[in-house]
Structure 1
Amino acid sequence: MEIKDNTFSRQFETTLNGHLISVEYSFQEKKIFLTRLNVPENFTDEDFISDLLKNIMAIAIERKLKVVPILPKIVLFFKKNPVYKELLPPGIRL
């Protein structure tokens, strides 16, 4: 999966079947806040979203960032993938 970090729009982007899928973010200190998930209408491929989030976690690890999940769907991703809980900042409990 190829992910583009569109810093101008503050979002990670990828495409599936010609449709843009993105995760919007904002930075504060050494934390990245995942604030919004944009998918086409009637998009239901949860495995694709999970793979996208795993790739974003790899980017966060590479950049030594802590991840703050804002969306319930991303919180659920952390609950289903406890290996990434080390990316949560101190004090964040899911």
Structure 2
Amino acid sequence: MDVMTAIELTDNEFLRQFETTFDNKLAKIEYSLQDRKIFLTKIHMPEGAEDRMNDFIVAVFKEVEDRNIRLVPTSPEIAKFMRSNRRKYKNLLPVGINI
């Protein structure tokens, strides 16, 4: 299944978080935007949807890539995902940042 068809991503700019729902429960990745960099600071997955976390992260990474901005994963879970998929997503990191 294509991740982008499976996850409908919303950017709640007021609350500075990407949002989606799993079984009518809100999942969110909080962010801070500074100087063409987006810092992904916290991820919250609803109970029972933890197995979809990687799909959600991929959807957010795709959105960041489409906006042509750099990504700094400060959330431990997102940094772990980035380390596990370094080759695929290293182009999203700002110059000089290694995860």
* TM-score normalised by structure 2 residue count: 0.86
Residues 1:70 and 2:74 aligned together: yes
Distance 1:19 1:26, change over 3 A: same
**4+ aligned runs moved over 6 Å, structure 1:** none
Task: In structure 2, list runs of 5 or more residues that go unmatched.
Answer: 1-6
Distance 1:25 1:90, change over 3 A: same
13, 16, 30: which one aligns with 1:10: 16
46, 54, 57: which one aligns with 1:53: 57
Counterpart AA for 1:10: R
* TM-score normalised by structure 1 residue count: 0.90
How many residues align? The count is 92
| 1:89 aligned partner | 94
How many percent of aligned residue pairs carry the same amino acid? 41
Task: In structure 1, list runs of 5 or more residues that go unmatched.
Answer: none
Counterpart AA for 2:21: T
Residues 1:38 and 2:44 aligned together: yes
